[in-house]
Amino acid sequence: MLTTIKKDKHMKKIILLAIVLFLGASTNAQDKYFTKNGTITFDATTSTSPEKVAAINKSVTCVLDSKTGNTQFSVLMKGFEFEQALMREHFHENYLESDKFPKALFKGQIINSSQLNYSKNGSYDVTVKGQLTMHGQTKDVEANGKLSVNDGKISISSKFAVLLNDYGIEVPRLVSDKVAKSASIKVDCILQVLGN
Amino acid sequence: MVLIVLATGVYFYVNRKTQSLNSTKADFEISAIKFLEEYSSDQALSDKKFLGKIIQVDGNLKDIEKNEEGFLTFVIGDLTSVSSVRCSIDTTVVIDESEYPVGTAITLKGECTGFNSDELGLGADIVLSRSVIIPN
């Protein structure tokens, strides 16, 4: 009789372990979210500029690990589209030197990630802290934003300012009445679960 | 008189809008598969060759993606591979997505903006911007 009880306990442990492992394995697939169609716009228009000094990139790659709050954005600089051809040429050839530095990268973490419930619809104010590498320079960046969970998709939006000088982006004095020293960066991404 | 002509010329040069690529000749014509092979084998060399150039690329249409702002991306390549050439469609061109069924052969022309190596098991991508569809 004793041996049967011992066997039962053993079986129960195995079953419990199997359930935990199974759950663990299936939640792992739900941990990472990504997009390859994120949008980032930058705007460096001064108040005295007759035209908009702005560009949009619609092919931003973003990955978010909901378990750790780690997030990464990858931006191909040549993907920034300008309305005016000359502005595009100046920015890519002279200021951003996109041929030399074709990719910008942000690696950071959502600070309050552990307080967010990624499995339920909701909207949260978040702060992201990390490092932005652009034009060959890496600087610390902290930005506020909003994270919303909507039927399994995560949308991230944020607006922050970047000092062009910090990244060695030199704007000639000739156009300093049009191009601002500080560019406003707007990020909008909707992420889906990796593995689906 | 000459000054007025010059001034007008300069004005139009300075203020020209980015044109759609419909009337621009491609710098390269290549299949999506070969394009990905070249980039995967030597990214630095491929960047020197292709970055900023107009590429006419052909392949199978794997997917049409639309982001929340309505921006379209045609994903083309080998249907059995995770790597693709992603063609972000020129927003000044109106497209009826239903005319392009997934799985069919398609040719697009766009500006090469670079290469994303496979970091997540999602496959490597080449991204073309301002893409237009070349009719058969």
Using one digit for the tens of pLDDT, what is the confidence trace for A155-168?
999 999 999 999 99
pLDDT at A26 over 50: no
Tell me the percentage of chain A whose pLDDT exceeds 70: 88
pLDDT score for A145: 96
Q: What is the ipTM of this complex?
A: 0.89
Compute the distance between CA of residue B84 and CA of residue B107 in angstroms, rounded to an integer.
14
User: Pick from A76, A86, A194: which is nearest to B14 by CB?
Assistant: A86
Domains annotated on chain B, with CATH: 22-134 (2.40.50.140)
Tell me if A39 and B71 make a contact (CB, 8 A cut-off). Answer: yes
Residues in chain B with CB shorter than 8 Å from the CB of A190 are 67-68
Domain residue ranges of chain A, discontinuous segments joined by +: 1-30, 31-193
For the domain made up of A31-193, give the CATH fold: Lipocalin (2.40.128)
Question: How confident is the model over A40-88, as pLDDT tens digits?
Answer: 999 999 988 888 999 999 999 999 999 999 999 999 999 999 988 888 9
Q: pTM value?
A: 0.86
B16 to chain A, any CB pair closer than 8 A? The answer is yes
Query: Within 10 Å of residue A127's Cβ, how many Cβ atoms?
Result: 15
B129 with A79: Cβ contact below 8 A: yes
Dihedral sign, Cα of residue A188, residue A90, residue B88, residue B22: positive
Bigger pLDDT: A4 or A34?
Answer: A34
Assess contact for B36 and B55: CB atoms under 8 A. no
Question: How far apart are the CA of B69 and the nearest CA of chain A, in angstroms?
Answer: 9
What mean pLDDT comes out for the span A115-134? Answer: 95
Given a contact cutoff of 8 angstroms between Cβ atoms, the answer to whether B6 and B12 are in contact is no
Residue ranges of alpha helices (H) inside chain A are 2-29, 85-89
- Position A39 pLDDT exceeds 50: yes
- Sort A128 into a burial class: Cβ within 10 Å, 0-12 / 13-18 / 19+: buried
